[in-house]
Structure 1
Amino acid sequence: MSTESAPEGGSSNPLPAQPEVGTLSLEGLNSTVEIPPENASFWRQYRAFVGPAFLVSVGYMDPGNWGTDLQAGASYRFDLLWIVALSSFMAIIMQVCSARLGIVTGKDLAQACRDYFPAWTRWPNWLACEIAIGACDLAEVLGSAVALNLLFHVPLFWAVLITAFDVLLILALQGFGVRFIEAVILTLVATIGGCYFVEIFVLPHTTPDFLEMGAALLTPGFRQEGMIVGAIGIIGATVMPHNLYLHSALVRTRRIGFDESAIRRAIKFNTIDTVAALSLAFFVNASILVLAATTFYGRESVALPSGEIIPFSDDADWIRVAYLTLAPLLGATSASVLFAVALLASGQSSTITGTLAGQVVMEGFMHWRMRPWVRRLITRLIAILPAVIIIGIRGSGSVTDLLVLSQVVLAMQLPLALFPLLYFTSSKKRMGQFRNGWFLLTVGWTSCLLITALDFYGLPDTMQKAWVVIVGKPGEQ
């Protein structure tokens, strides 16, 4: 069956046709979830569709986001909270477009790029995606390793190596089907959200001034020097390119159909799913910023029970500093444990979705099939090698520096995902009557251009920092 939609000169509202059998990514998971009839209750229908956006949402609360949010809160209190809200809104727009592409065309973004762009673009696009997924996995390696180090006192070097064995977890999960994977991810996401709920609303020493938070959220601006750089970091760490590929594939795990009413229903419920999931991600990111603002802002250093003085500076490894300083600052050891548990849940949940994204881009761009454990091992090795080398040479104090490396790569890959996504979803030829309307068209392209401009504006400074990570600071041996 043809993969092209009806010609523009034909029907005024053409419906894209179903793709050929065997060309879809994640083939073992596609169309495996039954959808209730249209006359079923709202909640029964929603339960059937809910899941893909929550799988994707973990990429918006991974350890890469934690570093930027912690630094922003510690440096500027609540003044960049509005940037967290803005970046979350832009992320919702992009993920809504990604879901629409998969629902309407039956293709994920990688498949669409392969089929609709010249053949010579496949290799460079695929390689760029693989490098970006490896870079994102680096952040997940570091998050999980730091959490293991903090909870169980495993040396960071060995904790990084231990994370290689989560390939066994991925292999086991995929055998249970997509609904089981979604349940595991929802549990991990709920763990992260629950940890921050306790820290913000239950522990007395971390309860913020909600009126001050509301004022900062509703009065955007850059009132201090350096806030623009902090804002670029938050936005650059928010929209993950691999999530745009993954979401467009995951929506096809539902047995949607290709008639007009089925497509409209799928778009409606996946939009609700996306808004709900990324709103939770906003809550988590905002909580991290608020926690840092409440505990770190206005302090230059803190003394640990051991007598060690931990200074707060631009060069601080904020993820490690946050854990080490929470207990003495808050007078509650439970806050430190909650933080580490949430960090571990963040790293592991992002690991699962990173593996699925890797399968999507490999199968979508190249039509290659690979056993999940082999795919996972390759991805994890790409991420572990730079972490092992740098930590082995320079010690365990470079977690934030390594996260900088991952953000450089992601910033360069992002336009390669954003522009094709909006080009396809705005095309009448590809999307028919379901192409982006004026709102998604305007907000989508504005967000795309803003994110890309800010990423590249901050790229020279970020690359300079990344070079320092690789070669070391002047005078270091």
Structure 2
Amino acid sequence: MSENNPNQRHKLIEYANGPSLEEINGTVKVPKGKGFWRTLLAYSGPGALVAVGYMDPGNWSTSITGGQNFQYLLMSVILMSSLIAMLLQYMAAKLGIVTRMDLAQAIRARTSKTLGIILWIMTELAIMATDIAEVIGAAIALYLLFHIPLVIAVFITVFDVLLLLLLTRIGFRKIEAIVVCLILVILFVFVYEVALSDPNWGDVIAGFVPNAKTFATSPQVGGQTPLTGALGIIGATVMPHNLYLHSAISQTRQIDHSDPDDVAAAVRFTAWDSNIQLTAAFFVNALLLIMGVAVFKTGAVSDPSFFGLFHALSDTSKLSNPLLISVAKSGVLSVLFAVALLASGQNSTITGTLTGQVIMEGFIHMRMPLWARRLVTRLISVVPVLVTVAITAHQTDVQQHVALNNLMNNSQVFLAFALPFSMLPLLMMTDSRVEMSDRFKNNAWQKVLGWISVIGLTFLNLLGLPDSIADFFGANASAGEVQTAHIIAYILIAVVIALLAWTISDLYRGNKRYAAVLAEKAAAAKAKEETSAKGAQ
């Protein structure tokens, strides 16, 4: 597409190089001088759209089986992951508010076109990996609630594009409210089920303190070690595409960018909104782990898929508490679980589509209608799910459940690739005085914690890559297949490191160029002022 003709259209695709999510950018009014709570309410909403990414179906079975296998040992991992997420999301929102660019636009403006295309493809794969988990979760929920055959349930998930068409007509503020309601449904279900289970709260609190066993490679319980359980939780908690999304939707509020105090207020209230919503996401993930410990007998759930968890909640022989057993007989626990699963699956209809639009506009300067964007992504995502259902149609129910669970878990490997390429640029740019000014760049403790988090998460993601690739060969992989998987993983790790070096180098040079441009503009402005002053004399 020619950049010389911004109005040029090619069917459903058009050139885009304007503000991030231009249709909703700066559309929400913020009251001035109306007090803390009313102002906070006006800024509330974007944090909810981000928070739903931290409680999607992809991490449900990981948290529950982690609790069942290791009791409260991994509770500290959920806490650390949530705190890291709060820090990174704060930086993403701050970048969007201060620079008036989303993360994709900021990266593309300071890197080469080729690198921009590579990063776009990687992030698209990460979005599709998450969407696969949403398809599986929503389809299984429809199957469990309404006994719809799985193949038909998967096809039904494609039609959530109709829901998106409806949502795009009601305004962004109402979309935020709907997402908050979905979060409250999920939170209510798990608060209710955990409250009935009456866990040992002393043990729960003790679990928030990490120890040497938290990242140990033994013992192995149910095919899982504390390390693999921790990596699964970390991988499902910090989502790369959420950083792109938050940097864009933080710009939906009307801000006077000529007033640094107004910008500072926007950053502050956006941080409040984000942290409140991410705290809700933390509680959901913690409640999931507590369910694994307090609801089920140790080792009782042999099928960790959504099917297995649904049936376990109505099987009194697997439950650990007399009150739970009496409620489970009515089927309420399992139905509520499926309702929460369906609510979680629908969240991607909104957030996944917006994120896809952000990275498409930012990295390659192209735009599609939101409904078309959603339809394309979902049609691609359902293919591997349909193939898995078709291949396992004549196998036992448990084998089919395990196959779908493995597909969901294996698809998350793309998140490990994409995460460093969103975290590192974000940290570099928010550390920069040139990008953020002295007032808004990261302070010392944010910088230290940021680099520890980014390096630590990148290391842990790459550390778990060999086992993640090996999982593609199945649970009964031969020694030769495992060795092949590890070789592939090490090659991919080398590629990731090389791409990271390329990205850092491009960003560093781009930042230097940007600083030089700003210096030239400042010098020209100063010369103009001096000329005007001499003319006045």
Shared fold, TM over 0.5: yes
User: Of 14, 21, 24, which residue of structure 2 is paired with 1:26?
Assistant: 21
User: Of 316, 331, 346, which residue of structure 2 is paired with 1:348?
Assistant: 346
User: What's the secondary structure of 1:34's corresponding residue?
Assistant: coil
Alpha-carbon distance change, 472 to 32 in structure 1, aligned in 2, over 3 angstroms: farther
Instruction: Provide the C-alpha distance between the structure 2 equivalents of 1:212 and 1:219, rounded to a whole number of angstroms.
Output: 13
The aligned runs of 1:50-449 (5 Å cut-off) are: 50-201=44-195, 203=196, 206-222=197-213, 225=219, 226-258=225-257, 259-300=259-300, 312=302, 316-328=303-315, 329=319, 330-331=324-325, 332=328, 333-395=331-393, 396-397=400-401, 398-433=403-438, 434-449=440-455
Q: Deviations over 1:19-64 (max 9, x none)?
A: xx96123111111000111x21111100110111111100000011
Alpha-carbon distance change, 221 to 282 in structure 1, aligned in 2, over 3 angstroms: farther
Structure-1 residue corresponding to 2:500? none
C-alpha deviation, 1:318, in angstroms: 2.9
User: What's the secondary structure of 1:199's corresponding residue?
Assistant: helix
Q: Output the amino acid matched with 1:81.
A: M
Structure 1 unaligned residues grouped into runs of 5+: 1-20, 302-311
The answer to whether the Cα contact below 8 Å between 1:50 and 1:270 also exists between their aligned partners in 2 is yes
Alpha-carbon distance change, 472 to 389 in structure 1, aligned in 2, over 3 angstroms: farther
User: What's the secondary structure of 1:281's corresponding residue?
Assistant: helix
C-alpha deviation, 1:257, in angstroms: 2.2
How much is the aligned-residue C-alpha RMSD, in angstroms?
Answer: 1.9
User: What's the secondary structure of 1:282's corresponding residue?
Assistant: helix
Instruction: Provide the C-alpha distance between the structure 1 equivalents of 2:35 and 2:17, rounded to a whole number of angstroms.
Output: 33
Instruction: Provide the C-alpha distance between the structure 1 equivalents of 2:242 and 2:263, rounded to a whole number of angstroms.
Output: 21
C-alpha deviation, 1:86, in angstroms: 0.7
Q: Output the amino acid matched with 1:73.
A: G
C-alpha deviation, 1:125, in angstroms: 1.0
The answer to whether the Cα contact below 8 Å between 2:95 and 2:247 also exists between their aligned partners in 1 is yes
Q: Deviations over 1:271-301 (max 9, x none)?
A: 1111101110000000011001113342345
Structure-1 residue corresponding to 2:466? 460
Instruction: Provide the C-alpha distance between the structure 2 equivalents of 1:176 and 1:445, rounded to a whole number of angstroms.
Output: 40
Range 50-59 or range 399-408, more displaced = 399-408
The answer to whether the Cα contact below 8 Å between 1:192 and 1:284 also exists between their aligned partners in 2 is yes
Structure-2 residue corresponding to 1:35? 30
User: What's the secondary structure of 1:327's corresponding residue?
Assistant: coil
C-alpha deviation, 1:150, in angstroms: 0.8
Instruction: Provide the C-alpha distance between the structure 1 equivalents of 2:345 and 2:39, rounded to a whole number of angstroms.
Output: 31
The answer to whether the Cα contact below 8 Å between 2:194 and 2:295 also exists between their aligned partners in 1 is no
C-alpha deviation, 1:467, in angstroms: 3.6
The answer to whether the Cα contact below 8 Å between 2:119 and 2:421 also exists between their aligned partners in 1 is yes
Instruction: Provide the C-alpha distance between the structure 2 equivalents of 1:297 and 1:103, rounded to a whole number of angstroms.
Output: 48
Q: Output the amino acid matched with 2:410.
A: L
Structure 2 unaligned residues grouped into runs of 5+: 1-15, 220-224, 394-399, 481-537
User: What's the secondary structure of 1:299's corresponding residue?
Assistant: coil
Q: Output the amino acid matched with 1:450.
A: G
The answer to whether the Cα contact below 8 Å between 2:349 and 2:374 also exists between their aligned partners in 1 is no
Percent identity, aligned pairs only? 43
In the alignment of these two chains, the number of paired residues is: 437
Instruction: Provide the C-alpha distance between the structure 2 equivalents of 1:469 and 1:215, rounded to a whole number of angstroms.
Output: 33
Instruction: Provide the C-alpha distance between the structure 2 equivalents of 1:297 and 1:432, rounded to a whole number of angstroms.
Output: 55
The answer to whether the Cα contact below 8 Å between 1:73 and 1:297 also exists between their aligned partners in 2 is no
Instruction: Provide the C-alpha distance between the structure 2 equivalents of 1:473 and 1:376, rounded to a whole number of angstroms.
Output: 41
Instruction: Provide the C-alpha distance between the structure 1 equivalents of 2:380 and 2:204, rounded to a whole number of angstroms.
Output: 40
Q: TM-score, normalised by structure 1?
A: 0.88
Structure-2 residue corresponding to 1:17? none
Alpha-carbon distance change, 469 to 47 in structure 1, aligned in 2, over 3 angstroms: farther
Structure-2 residue corresponding to 1:14? none
Greater radius of gyration (CA): 2
C-alpha deviation, 1:338, in angstroms: 1.1
User: What's the secondary structure of 1:142's corresponding residue?
Assistant: helix
User: What's the secondary structure of 2:19's corresponding residue?
Assistant: coil
Structure-2 residue corresponding to 1:15? none
User: What's the secondary structure of 2:474's corresponding residue?
Assistant: helix
Q: Deviations over 1:283-327 (max 9, x none)?
A: 0000011001113342345xxxxxxxxxx2xxx343221111011
C-alpha deviation, 1:473, in angstroms: 13
The answer to whether the Cα contact below 8 Å between 1:70 and 1:319 also exists between their aligned partners in 2 is no
Q: Output the amino acid matched with 1:296.
A: F
C-alpha deviation, 1:436, in angstroms: 0.7
Instruction: Provide the C-alpha distance between the structure 2 equivalents of 1:208 and 1:291, rounded to a whole number of angstroms.
Output: 9
Q: Output the amino acid matched with 2:209.
A: L
Q: Deviations over 1:408-448 (max 9, x none)?
A: 11111111111111111111111112111111111111111
User: What's the secondary structure of 1:32's corresponding residue?
Assistant: coil
Q: TM-score, normalised by structure 2?
A: 0.79
Instruction: Provide the C-alpha distance between the structure 1 equivalents of 2:166 and 2:173, rounded to a whole number of angstroms.
Output: 14
Give the ranges of 4+ consecutive aligned residues of structure 1 lying more than 6 Å apart after TM superposition: 469-474
Q: Deviations over 1:375-400 (max 9, x none)?
A: 00111012111111112112432222
Instruction: Provide the C-alpha distance between the structure 1 equivalents of 2:407 and 2:340, rounded to a whole number of angstroms.
Output: 20
Alpha-carbon distance change, 471 to 126 in structure 1, aligned in 2, over 3 angstroms: farther
Instruction: Provide the C-alpha distance between the structure 1 equivalents of 2:64 and 2:143, rounded to a whole number of angstroms.
Output: 19
User: What's the secondary structure of 1:218's corresponding residue?
Assistant: coil
